[in-house]
Chains A and B, each alone.
Chain A
Amino acid sequence: MAFGAFAHSTSDIKHKNASQKTGKIAWILLAPGLAYLALFFLAPLFSLIAVSLGSIEAVSLANQGFRYGFNIQNFAQLGTDYLPHVIRSFSYALIATAAALLISYPLAYFIGVKLRGRPLLQRMLVTLVIAPFFISFLLRTLAWSQIFSNESWIVHELQTLGLLAPDQYIIGTPFAVVFGLTYNFIPFMTLPLYTTLEKLDIRYLEAGADLYASPRKVFTKVTLPLSMPGVISGTLLTFIPMAGDYVNASKNFLGSAHTQMLGNVIESKYISEHNMPIASALSVALMAVILIIVGVYVKRTGSEDLL
């Protein structure tokens, strides 16, 4: 900038040269990033889309008979064979995102607003929110599968109380999967909420109260709108990976045959069946649907500047 200003004060020609030069420098500086994006994002993405429209014939192990083509019917399976998985992926992700928000908001509010002026306590609590990250996410999910196992204390008590029938269990139910998703992604919701709420100017809340707004009104008219950037980044950070998650719903963790999500199908198509066109089509479709949902959401909430 300073360089540009200097050029402007001397002569127009020099200014032109200078801005050309800065343009060049900008491109040179951008080049590694752009090359990286082209190589590791665009190329695989195009490859993925190309494979998703291909077909296989399974001749032998070494020859899957893969052909590029335009088999749009690969995507049609999404609406037929895999419709239950699509519905599960998005409904589980939606419910778990809502649950994570309901749990995280009061927590973040308490740490960010109520504990203001006690930085030590604030830092300790934020550390506690992050603490689960120090243990492998797989181990934590396995621990929950142990806690909810069929012969566990919890299941026995619920069966004794009549809340579960004698042949009903927790593992393998949609509840267990949504619980796992919520639990595993809560820090991703809490942290952005905390960073927004921590900056919340309390004087606005005081002004609201001075103008005779009830606490509820202050919350809905002042606190919530001001914390929307945190809410939106938190929900995006949780919803997107949740919709593609395949660990919690896996039969080896909290899920069962009845809770399989799109990620599980993609895993099975790729690793067990070597059916790359279908696996790729499902991946492309998953990305597209997420992109549409997120696009509409961001547009609706008026926070394009986040993207």
Chain B
Amino acid sequence: MNQQRPEDSIARDLAKMARRHQITRRAALAGAGATAATVALAACAPGGSSSTGLTPAKDLSESEKVITWDNWAAYLDGEEDASYPTLKAFEKNTGIKVYYDPEAIVGNNEYYGAAEKQLLAGDDIGADTMCLTDWQDAFLIESGLVQKLDLTNIPNHANMKSELASPTFDKGREYSMPWMSFMTGIAYNKKLYKELTGKTAPTGVADLWDPALKGRVVLLSEYREAVGLILISQGINIAEVTEDQYMSAVDLVAKQVKDGQINTKGQGYIESFEQKNAVAGLVWSGDLEWGDEYGFVFDSQGATLNTDSFTVPMGAQHKANVEKLINYYYDPEVSAKVILGGVVFAPPVEGVQEIVAKSNQELADNELIFPKAGGVRDKLQQFRTLSYAEHSAWNEAYNAATGV
């Protein structure tokens, strides 16, 4: 298969492999150890560079019918057997071969950290598009690291849900196009939660501090979601959160960690649930299979809403191809197929729910995919757009509260 690909793609794959083997969290864990990693770090030390003035790479979409698409896990139909029916249909219709990697992104910081050098230099990072989270996209756009999209190539963007159409960091969606939205709520192991607390289900964040759950509570590693949901549960509007409010919520986390109530946090929270170390915790909607074993509830005060969006890095050479891909997925019929194919996140396209309802009413009623107006949809909040300096300080405070 590789032989049929243009040489450029092979070079890109090598770049991708090399990057992947640099310092993603997984590779770093497998690697030689902290000291070796930081020697590598020193070699990549910054010179205070600023990326302003980067220009988009030459678009080779006409001659090279390929796209490399980096994404998070559990985000596309047919992932379990890599069959990707909707993607295959796109390839068939357009003749564009898509290299889809559902394990490329395990965390925004990790992904950016591994590709930082190439992104800042405007080089090819081995991906033509990736779906990072709003706040990360905001920094990428602010720093001029991603290309402006040609909306005339994406006529279907008119189908975008109105609440997503014009965020503060990208007025008019000229640089980023939402892929899926997700919320934060409380997950719990049904059997163990009942055994330990005597109650059937938690009703809000406050229930996590029940002494009966000591050492069995987990938090997400991203502070906007973890601390964000704690703030929402306290009745604070996170779209206007102040530093004092944030820091007092971090103090609460620090206290719960110190008292041993919260045991772990990190990318590994799914494993923590599966190993039954965690009984309850703050998690992303759609991450665990909510069935007989686990339950998921929203805090009565609401939930955080975040969106992962397509962006095209400056060094990518197939922007026009990516625009075709985005346009394809903004067709409600196609978006509905993704949801019917088992993705439990909220699509950004209007009209999907009606199509899904025709063949699967249960899915159409799922609040994780289609938050109901009058229900959680009215209580979704987005974290205030932070300056980079604020982000650094707030992230550091949360890390310190959770042990490092």
Residues of chain A touching chain B, judged by Cβ–Cβ distance below 8 Å, are 43-45, 47-48, 50-51, 57-67, 81, 85, 136-138, 142, 145-146, 149-151, 167-169, 171-172, 241, 244-247, 250-253, 256-260, 262-276, 279-280, 283, 286-287
Contact = CB atoms under 8 A, between A and B. Distances in A.
Interface in B19-54: 23, 25, 28-30, 33-35, 37-43, 45-52
B388 interface: yes
Interface string B374-404: 0000000000000011011001100110111
A60 B142 contact: yes
A172 to B, nearest CB: 5
B144 interface: yes
Contact of B34 (A258, A259, A267, A273): A267
B18 to A, nearest CB: 16
Contact of B275 (A58, A149, A260): A149
A270 B276 contact: no
B113 A241 contact: no
A268 B397 CA distance: 12
A59 B28 contact: no
A62 B266 contact: no
Given A66-B45, A150-B215, A280-B45, 14 more contacts: A61-B142, A138-B29, A149-B276, A251-B266, A251-B268, A257-B262, A257-B263, A259-B403, A263-B33, A268-B399, A270-B37, A272-B399, A279-B38, A280-B42
Nearest to B402: A257
A89 to B, nearest CB: 10
Interface residues of B, number: 63
Contacts of A265: 404
B140 interface: yes
Given A62-B144, A65-B48, A280-B42, A145 B275 contact: yes
B388 A59 contact: yes
Contact of B120 (A62, A146, A256): A62
Interface string B216-234: 1000010000000000000
Contacts of A253: 268
B257 interface: yes
A48 B388 contact: no
A180 to B, nearest CB: 13
Nearest to A146: B275
A51 B143 CA distance: 23
Contacts, number: 191
A268 B109 CA distance: 10
B112 interface: yes
B145 interface: yes
Interface of B: 23, 25, 28-30, 33-35, 37-43, 45-52, 109-110, 112-113, 120, 139-140, 142-145, 192, 214-216, 221, 257, 260, 262-268, 271, 275-277, 388-389, 391-392, 395-396, 399-400, 402-404
8 contacts: A61-B143, A62-B52, A66-B46, A138-B30, A149-B277, A246-B29, A250-B266, A252-B268
A241 B402 CA distance: 24
A60 B25 CA distance: 23
A168 B109 CA distance: 33
Nearest to A283: B38
Given A58-B392, A273-B392, A172 B139 contact: no
A150 B189 CA distance: 13
B42 A266 contact: no
B300 to A, nearest CB: 27
B41 A241 contact: no
B33 A62 contact: no
Q: Which of B29, B215, B277 has the most CB of A within 10 A?
A: B277
A167 B215 contact: yes
Contacts of A167: 214-215
A62 B50 contact: yes
Contacts of A136: 30
Contacts of A81: 400
B271 to A, nearest CB: 7
Contact of A271 (B42, B49, B110): B110
B257 A271 contact: no
Given A244-B34, A271-B110, A48 B39 contact: yes
Contact of A260 (B35, B110, B403): B403
Nearest to B40: A44
Contacts of A262: 34
Nearest to B261: A167
Given A63-B143, A136-B30, A167-B214, A256 B264 contact: yes
A60 B35 contact: no
A180 B159 CA distance: 53
B311 to A, nearest CB: 13
Nearest to B216: A150
Nearest to A278: B396
Contact of A266 (B34, B145, B267): B34
B257 A257 contact: yes
B260 to A, nearest CB: 8
Q: Which of A251, A253, A264, A265 has the most CB of B within 10 A?
A: A251
Contact of B109 (A57, A62, A146, A272): A272
A149 B272 CA distance: 9
Q: Which of A48, A145, A258 has the most CB of B within 10 A?
A: A48
Q: Nearest 8 pairs between A and B by C-beta?
A: A257-B403, A48-B42, A252-B268, A62-B143, A263-B34, A61-B139, A283-B38, A62-B51
A81 B397 CA distance: 12
Contact of B215 (A50, A169, A273): A169
Contact of A150 (B120, B276, B396): B276
B267 A283 contact: no
A251 B265 contact: yes
Q: Which of A66, A138, A257 has the most CB of B within 10 A?
A: A257
